[in-house]
Amino acid sequence: MSAPARTVAFVDGVRTPFGKAGDKGIYANTRADDLVVKVIRELLRRHPELPPERVDDVAIAATTQIGDQGLTIGRTAALLAGLPKSVPGYSIDRMCAGAMTAVTSVAGGIAFGAYDVAIAGGVEHMGRHPMGEGVDPNPRFMSDKIVDPSALVMGQTAENVHDRFPAITKERCDAYAVRSQERYADAVKAGKIGPEFVPVATRHPELGWGLATEDEPPRPGTTMESLAGLKTPFRPHGRVTAGNAAGLNDGATGALLAGEDTARELGLPVGMRMVGYSFAGVEPEVMGIGPVPATEKALARAGLSISDIGLFEINEAFAVQVLSFLDHFGIDDEDPRVNQWGGAIACGHPLASSGVRLMTQLSRQFAERPDVRYGMTTMCIGIGMGGTVIWENPHFNGNNGEGDK
């Protein structure tokens, strides 16, 4: 006899401040697994009502599963964080959507009844482990022309999206990037970004110990003029620059998920309810368009339309990727529902960790917006994919905001 599916609750999410990858970044001398340990411990610290032994699994994503991001990091980080040895764990790789996939994977277990409570998240230390480190792509990808040669270089795939949609000019992308920086800076000043941070002790061989308490990548004061002269490293006279794309970053995220019935039993808050999710594949050489079919698929399965979505958190790997999504669905470049606290162009994109950053921000936005019923987290994924998760606001009061069902 099959049991009915349970409602999956996003209880809470936290993250480390994001750092710049490289020898000068704040986490240059910090281990990737220690970043994960910090977020797991912070989730448990913030929720003493959760007995640690009630955690049924720990799913942690990393794109480059090598070194201190390898060795089944979900299990090893759980042990290092002090969870009981009875709590299992595992690792996940879906490139940029690693943490998103960690969440949807444990959510399936919760809905099925295999789990009551789980931790899901992701980490990427791009300073220690550049994307593609140690990989050996099968030569048939090229010899059999399974993918275009540009498919393995994310910046080139973004230039390809520009080719496909010539209306998305470099100027539009730069303008979007400026707004992302401005919205992020405003959100920090207003205290919207920061409460989800877990401070991380850092070490520098010459300067000694420090404490990371804020994101390192943002460039406040960015202007159209300052972006106009940046190099286009992926193509001569191209359109993708360091200013209208996310950088190379280090950081970790973690989220606590539970069956809503278990959350009520333990006294855990319910930040969001999962409505549904979908992943979709596209041509790898234009991976940035992946969120479009993933969103169409997720909406269809949920019985919703794009007009039902009152808040969007779209990962900003590249401005052109976000704008291609907005154009497809007829959403204005400056729509206040979209990335209202800025995005990865400002705060950074440590690959596999970013999905939970989107979710954590959406959950906190829901708490401020009882007029919004549904929200969405969506992102493009390397090698030609997109992922979308639709969420319901538990604080919804029935007073429809514009664009909400």
Question: In terms of C-beta density within 10 A (0-12 exposed, 13-18 middle, 19 or more buried), how is residue 214 classed?
Answer: middle
Q: Are 8 and 107 within 8 A, CB to CB? A: yes
3-state secondary structure of 82: coil
Residues 132, 138, 142: CA angle, nearest 5 degrees? 100
Helix (H) or strand (E) holding 301: helix 291-302
Q: Which of 250, 273, 222 is nearest to 394 (CA)?
A: 273
Scanning the structure block, which residue is given the tokens 């009630």? 54
Residues with Cβ within 8 Å of residue 137, at least 6 apart in sequence:
152
DSSP for 91-154, please give it. EE-BTBTHHHHHHHHHHHHHHHTS-SEEEEEEEEETTTS-TTTT----THHHHTTSS-GGGG-H
User: Can you say how many angstroms the Cα of residue 402 is from the centroid of all Cα atoms in its chain?
Assistant: 26
Amino acid of residue 19 = G
Which phi and psi (to 5°) does residue 101 adopt?
Answer: -70, -35
Q: How many CB atoms lie within 10 A of CB 1?
A: 2
Q: Which of 146, 155, 148 is nearest to 244 (CA)?
A: 155
Token digits for 109? 């277990």
Using the 8-state DSSP alphabet, how is residue 284 labeled?
G
**Could you give the residue numbers annotated as active site?**
96, 349, 380
* CA distance linking residue 210 with residue 213, whole number of Å: 10
Q: Are 60 and 19 within 8 A, CB to CB? A: no
Which phi and psi (to 5°) does residue 78 adopt?
Answer: -60, -45
